[in-house]
């Protein structure tokens, strides 16, 4: 139990430190407006995440980010740092009761989670770590799918459990990234 509390405390401290220096989605949006993909049934948000592609929301009054809208990190450690920052942005918005402000960083989280394994594989992360990273990335994608559904439904309250699970998974990813330095 002490280990879990220590890990959560460490995650919070690291998260705020990184958020203070990096920012979430600090790059200006690129490409055409994301609204264009909402013109048909069964829309695709341009990610590899199955949880994001078919989340069944009916509120299409918001824009979804795509990979083309982002300046993607060049390596695994950069992606983990950005995931941490975006997660903090989502949590802050939801704590303030504003699901709308959580939407873009939630989209970015889903895209980045889908990029973790390719970045690890192509970025020189030892093959011995791939399975661990892949499992954590899949777990994070699943958790983000649940969170993204809530954000799409403008449900700001009642997400504490999923946010805690996301934080724990990101904490494990941070440890992996740190061990590779």
Contacts of 46 (CB under 8 A, 6+ apart): 37, 64, 66, 67, 68, 111
Choose the CATH number for 2-27+63-179 among 1.20.120.290, 1.10.645.10, 1.20.140.10, 3.20.20.70: 1.20.120.290
Q: Using CA atoms, how far apart are residues 52 and 44, in angstroms rounded to an integer?
A: 8
Interacting residues of 181 by C-beta distance below 8 A, sequence separation 6+? 77
Task: Give percent of the chain with pLDDT exceeding 90.
Answer: 44
pLDDT at 74: 93
Contact 98, 156 (CB under 8 A): yes
Model-level pTM? 0.66
Q: Which pLDDT does position 100 carry in this prediction?
A: 86
The rounded distance, in Å, linking the Cα atoms of 85 and 97 is: 19
Regions of the chain short of the pLDDT cut 70: 1-62
**Which pLDDT value is given to residue 61?**
56
Q: What are the sequence ranges of the domains in the chain?
A: 2-27+63-179
What integer best gives the mean pLDDT of the chain?
A: 75
Distance separating alpha carbons of residues 43 and 143, to the nearest angstrom: 21
pLDDT of residue 158: 82
Which is it for the CA torsion 159, 160, 164, 167, positive or negative? Answer: positive
Q: Minimal CA–CA distance to 65: which of 44, 85, 80, 90? A: 44
Burial profile 117-145: b = 16 or more Cβ within 10 angstroms, e = fewer: bebbeeeebeeeeeeebeebbbbbbebbb
What is the per-residue pLDDT for 24? 55
pLDDT at 89: 94
């Amino acid at each position: 139990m002490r280990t879990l509390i220590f890990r959560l405390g460490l995650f919070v401290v690291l998260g705020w430190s990184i958020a203070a220096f990096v920012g979430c989605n600090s790059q200006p949006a690129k490409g055409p407006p994301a609204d264009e993909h909402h013109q048909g049934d069964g829309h695709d948000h341009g990610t590899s995440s199955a949880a994001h592609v078919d989340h069944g929301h009916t509120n299409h009054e918001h824009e979804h980010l795509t990979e083309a809208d982002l300046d993607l990190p060049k390596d695994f450690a950069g992606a983990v740092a950005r995931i941490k920052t975006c997660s903090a942005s989502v949590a802050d918005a939801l704590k303030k009761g504003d699901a709308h402000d959580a939407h873009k960083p939630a989209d970015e989280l889903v895209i980045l989670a889908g990029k973790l394994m390719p970045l690890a594989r192509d970025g020189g992360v030892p093959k011995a770590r791939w399975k661990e990273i892949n499992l954590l990335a899949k777990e994070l994608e699943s958790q983000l799918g649940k969170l993204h559904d809530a954000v799409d439904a403008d449900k700001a309250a009642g997400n504490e459990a999923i946010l805690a699970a996301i934080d724990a998974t990101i904490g494990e990813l941070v440890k992996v990234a740190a061990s590779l330095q």
